[in-house]
Amino acid sequence: MGVDRFLENPLLTPRDVSPHRRDFEVLGVFNAGVALYQGETLLLLRVAERPAQQDQRLIRVPIWDVAHEALRVETLHNEYGEYDVSDPRSVVTKATGRFAYLSSLSYLRIARSHDGVHFTVDSEPFMFPATAYETFGIEDPRIAEMEDAYYITYTSVSPFGVCASLATTRDFQSVQRLGVIFPPENKDVVLFPEKIDGRYFALHRPVPGDIGGPEIWIADSPDLIHWGNHTHLLGVRPERWDSRRMGAGAVPLRTEAGWLEVYHAADEQGRYALGAVLMDLTDPRRVLARSSNPLLAPELPYEVEGFYGNVVFTCGTVLVGDTLRIYYGVADSAMAGAELSLSEVLSSLGTVQVR
């Protein structure tokens, strides 16, 4: 299958974004949600920042302080290697083996474009951590346009765990939080962009503790807030590209063949690739087909190398005619884009061609 990566890739890198305050540095600009708004393509970027690290023996971590409604920098003493920082995304206390902090704090910022390729980043954050469930940051937004509003599902991280939360906007200036919709541990929540038989649908990704693994579930709701009828939708496949963990990626796309979902999955080596799953239009709990091979896997240097390498991760696509444009985060560092033919994707799934 032909995958045309944009020649302009990476579209946005940390160099294109100034930190929200001067004593911070931007580590990553990635995993953006996508919306079409007033003739523009908007990327709702996940921006990961941390305080500039001045002394190797100290680790400075950012935390949203709910009580004081301010960002606090906590300094951890690491003179004797008390903390394990081998995974650059987190800080683990060696004595307990327990996760202590994220190494950066993520928030959401908008980038706007007339051609979908060249983006200008807003000077201010769009959504910054604000609640007790967001003290370690907010990540990986997905945007579903429904009934004159845009619904943003995002990951909220705090000492309480990793939750999925919901917010809504009409103008991409003001935003209203609607709270946590899936308790820990859950992430990768995407809303279907329309009601099916009178109910809202969402894909979600719980992380079971002892038995089971990180796989994709589906639920429905009368109001986007109360979710039930949880059903397991799609699981990992041993010894394949999606053998270890997986989650929904983009907002599902209505096609004549069914709901097309571009999802991400990692293998045993932690290599994240993208594949597709097709669900029945009237009963999305019915899986019709699934990619044998990835649609897109990390191959180019900007996908393989970075803050956390070997990762391609999508939170949104745009369909123009037969062209499926996938926006995706690369190596937890930057944003990229690629185009595929929708009819080729569907025929790779062994389904009927769309006209």
CB 19 within 8 A of CB 25: yes
Shortest distance, position 321 Cβ to ligand MAN, whole Å:
29
122-161 footprint of ligand MAN as x/- string (CB under 6 A): -----------------xx---------------------
Q: Counting contacts by CB under 6 A, is residue 49 touching ligand MAN?
A: no
Taking CB under 6 A as the criterion, the residue among 200, 263, 313, 327 binding ligand MAN is 313
CB of residue 23 vs ligand MAN: minimum separation in angstroms? 25
Q: Between 151 and 328, name the residue whose CB sits nearer to ligand MAN.
A: 328
Q: What is the DSSP string of 279-325?
A: E-SS-TTSEEEE-SS-SB---SHHHHSSTT-SBEEEEEEEEETTEEE
What strands, in cross-sheet order, belong to the sheet with 228-234? 186-191, 200-206, 216-221, 228-234
Cβ contacts of 320 within 8 Å, gap of 6 or more: none
Interface mask (CB under 6 A) for ligand MAN, residues 261-280, using x and -?
-----------x--------
Q: How many chain residues bind ligand MAN (CB under 6 A)? A: 11
The answer to the question of residue 242 lying near ligand MAN (CB under 6 A) is no
> 3-class SS at 80?
coil
Applying CB under 6 A, the span of 13-21, 122-130, 169-177, 307-315 interacting with ligand MAN comes to: 307-315
Which of 152, 276, 311, 330: binder of ligand MAN (CB under 6 A)?
311
All residues at 6 or more sequence positions from 171 whose CB lies less than 8 Å from its CB, including other chains? none
Identify which of residues 110 and 138 has a Cβ nearer to ligand MAN in the complex. Answer: 138
332 binds ligand MAN (CB under 6 A): yes
Considering the complex, state which of residue 109 and residue 187 has its C-beta at the smaller distance from ligand MAN: 187
Please give the full DSSP string across 172-223, using - where no structure is assigned.
SSS-EEEEEEEPSSEEEEEE-SS-BTTBEEEEEEE--SSSS-S-EEEEEESS
**Binding to ligand MAN, residues 85-104 (CB under 6 A):** 89
Going by C-alpha positions, the residue among 277, 314, 322, 276 that lies closest to residue 298 is: 314
Cβ proximity to ligand MAN, 87 vs 256, nearer residue: 87
CA distances from 198 to 255, 261, 283 (A): 19, 21, 12
Least Å distance, CB 172 to ligand MAN, is: 22
Answer yes or no whether residue 182 interacts with ligand MAN by CB under 6 A. Answer: no
Which DSSP string do the residues of 9-60 spell out, in sequence order?
-SSB-GGGS--SSTTEEEEEEEEEEEEEETTEEEEEEEEEEEEPP--TTEEE
CB atoms within 10 A of CB 51: 20
Rule CB under 6 A: is residue 31 a binding residue for ligand MAN? yes
Minimum CB distance to ligand MAN, residue 162 (Å): 8
Nearest CB to ligand MAN, comparing residues 139 and 220:
139
Of 91-99, 130-138, 228-236, 305-313: span binding ligand MAN (CB under 6 A): 305-313
- Measured between alpha carbons, how far is 284 from 169 in angstroms, rounded to an integer? 26
The residues binding ligand MAN (CB under 6 A) are 31, 89, 139-140, 187, 272, 308, 311, 313, 329, 332
